[in-house]
């Protein structure tokens, strides 16, 4: 299988979800589609985690200079 991008994986995952929601697939094919969807979900989640680690937020300090700080999601922020 060729390496898929995040965007390609999301589109394929959306297509799989639609096929499963339609309910027209035989059970064995539906199970295979579900398994494929789980793999795509894990891939997309991994890509998002990798990307989150790379994000930095640029902020101006009191002197008006730009400083770089690691990105911390709101749900992980610790109040000082």
For the residues of 5-34, what is the DSSP string, one character each?
PHHHHHHHHHHHHHHHHHT-S-HHHHHHHH
- The 3-state DSSP class for residue 77 equals coil
Range of the domain at 56: 6-76
Whether residue 15 is contained in a domain is answered as: yes
Whether residue 1 is contained in a domain is answered as: no
Whether residue 52 is contained in a domain is answered as: yes
* Domains: count for the chain: 1
pLDDT per position as a tens digit, 8-63 = 999 999 999 999 999 899 999 999 999 999 999 999 999 998 887 777 666 667 77
CA angle 70, 76, 78 (to 5 degrees): 85
| pTM higher than the cut 0.75 | no
């Amino acid at each position: 299988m060729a390496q898929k991008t995040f965007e390609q994986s999301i589109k394929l995952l959306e297509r799989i979800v639609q096929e499963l929601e339609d309910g027209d697939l035989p059970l064995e094919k539906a199970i295979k589609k579900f398994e494929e969807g789980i793999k795509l979900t894990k891939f997309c989640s991994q890509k998002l985690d990798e990307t989150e680690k790379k994000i930095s937020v640029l902020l101006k300090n009191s002197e008006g200079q730009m400083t770089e700080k690691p990105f911390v999601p709101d749900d992980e922020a610790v109040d000082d």
